[in-house]
């Protein structure tokens, strides 16, 4: 007489996804936050890894309900010798870390930090160009607190460490990208496990992308371009969307107007006061000096 065998352990969703799709799905994700060179990093990595057909899929935030098959389909062009990855600003999005861990339990995380005041101002200008907000940066922050939330590095970063393990989270500095982009890219390639890619053959410029220095020349054109973006993505015309983006059509529609003014001394000081506890906490968390972020711009009085 033989005893019945023990029933198998139930497989989790993560187990099933790893068994069925690995390595088709990403082995790393650059989580932003936004306005920290995410477009530049996406473009720089495009020659070395398989990236989704559309930049910033927002699958683990806004598009979670579309399901894993929708996400998997965005990597259908991956070659067998490629690893897959994504660059999308999930940093401060509630629940994004847990969703990524559920679907991609072995995922590596890249997080690039930038002066939080400069980052918030850059996000404001982008939102103005895409007609998501009107008025001053103070008006925009009041209507969209996420502009501040994305700069709360000391609040959110420990959560990513807990979910994925400190050794699986690469924290980089936007200033390093600006001052030595090749070295910055080398550190990312080493972390994700691909051969280093010289910028000379990567096809990207050494400077920034999507700077959004001017307001839209025509609100109607900018609004129509924004609607076109969403329609192309919703209907699955991913290659058309990518081609128009590479050609600079959307940037052209969103700019060419009046230059954005710099922050006033009062605006700059007020924002730095908001972020001061986060800067202090980040220095304790990482053991690094971020005093440069306490220095006001536009002649405002230095914070102690």
Mean pLDDT of 268-278: 97
pLDDT at 72: 95
At residue 12, the pLDDT reads 45
Tens-place pLDDT, residues 241-267? 778 777 777 777 766 767 778 999 999
- Helix extents (H) in the chain: 13-21, 38-45, 68-73, 96-103, 116-129, 137-143, 146-149, 153-164, 174-179, 181-192, 199-202, 219-234, 238-246, 249-254, 265-286
Whole-angstrom Cα distance, residue 96 to residue 61? 6
Binning pLDDT at 50, 70 and 90, where does residue 4 land? very low
Locate 161 and state its tokens. Answer: 């460490």
Q: Are strands 256-259 and 214-216 parallel, antiparallel or unpaired?
A: antiparallel
Q: Which of helix, strand or coil describes residue 42?
A: helix
Q: Is residue 290 within 8 Å of 258, Cβ to Cβ?
A: no
**CB-CB contact of 173 with 118 (8 Å):** no
* pTM, full prediction: 0.85
13-213+260-294 folds as: Rossmann fold (3.40.50)
pLDDT band at 210 (very low <50, low <70, confident <90, very high): low
Q: In which band, very low, low, confident or very high, does the pLDDT at 303 lie, cut at 50, 70 and 90? A: very low
Token reading at 48: 């070395």
Read off the pLDDT of residues 63-120 as tens digits, 9 standing for 90 and up: 999 999 999 999 999 999 999 999 999 999 999 999 999 999 999 999 999 999 999 9
Between CA 176 and CA 172 the distance in angstroms is 8
Residue-wise pLDDT for 7-44, tens only, equals 334 344 444 444 444 568 999 999 999 999 999 999 99
Q: At what angle do helices 116-129 and 265-286 cross, to 10 degrees?
A: 120
- Residue 61 and residue 97: Cα distance in Å, rounded? 10
DSSP secondary structure string, 88-138?
---TT-TTHHHHHHHH-TT-EEEEEE--HHHHHHHHHHHHHHTTS--S-HH
Whether the per-residue pLDDT at 273 is higher than 70: the answer is yes
Q: Largest Cα–Cα distance in the chain?
A: 88
Nearest to 92 by CA among 39, 145, 36, 156: 156
Confidence of residue 221 (pLDDT cuts 50, 70, 90): confident
């Amino acid at each position: 007489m033989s005893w019945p065998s023990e029933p198998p352990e139930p497989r989790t969703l993560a187990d099933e996804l790893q068994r069925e799709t690995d390595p088709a799905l990403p082995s790393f994700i650059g989580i932003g936050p936004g306005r920290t060179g995410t477009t530049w990093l996406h473009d720089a990595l495009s020659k070395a890894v398989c990236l989704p057909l559309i930049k910033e899929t927002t699958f683990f935030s806004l598009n979670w309900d579309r399901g894993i098959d929708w996400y998997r389909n965005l990597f259908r062009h991956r070659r067998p010798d490629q690893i897959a990855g994504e660059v999308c600003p999930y940093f401060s999005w509630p629940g994004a870390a847990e969703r990524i861990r559920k679907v991609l339990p072995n995922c590596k995380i890249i997080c690039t930090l930038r002066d939080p005041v400069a980052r918030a101002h850059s996000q404001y200008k982008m939102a103005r160009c895409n007609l998501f907000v009107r008025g001053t940066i103070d008006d925009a922050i009041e209507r969209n607190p996420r502009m501040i939330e994305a700069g709360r590095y000391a609040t959110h970063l420990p959560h990513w460490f807990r979910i994925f393990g400190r050794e699986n989270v690469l924290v980089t500095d936007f200033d390093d990208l600006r001052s030595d982009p090749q070295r910055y890219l080398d550190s990312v390639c080493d972390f994700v496990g691909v051969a280093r890619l010289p910028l000379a053959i990567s096809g990207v410029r050494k400077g920034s992308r999507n700077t959004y220095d001017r307001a839209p020349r025509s609100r109607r054109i900018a609004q129509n371009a924004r609607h076109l973006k969403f329609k192309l993505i919703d209907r699955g015309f991913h290659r058309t969307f990518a081609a128009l983006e590479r050609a600079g059509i959307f940037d052209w529609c969103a700019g060419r107007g009046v230059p954005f003014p710099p922050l006033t001394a009062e605006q700059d000081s007020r924002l730095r006061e908001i972020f001061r506890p986060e800067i202090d906490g980040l220095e304790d968390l990482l053991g690094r000096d971020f005093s440069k972020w306490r220095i006001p711009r536009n002649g405002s009085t230095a914070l102690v």
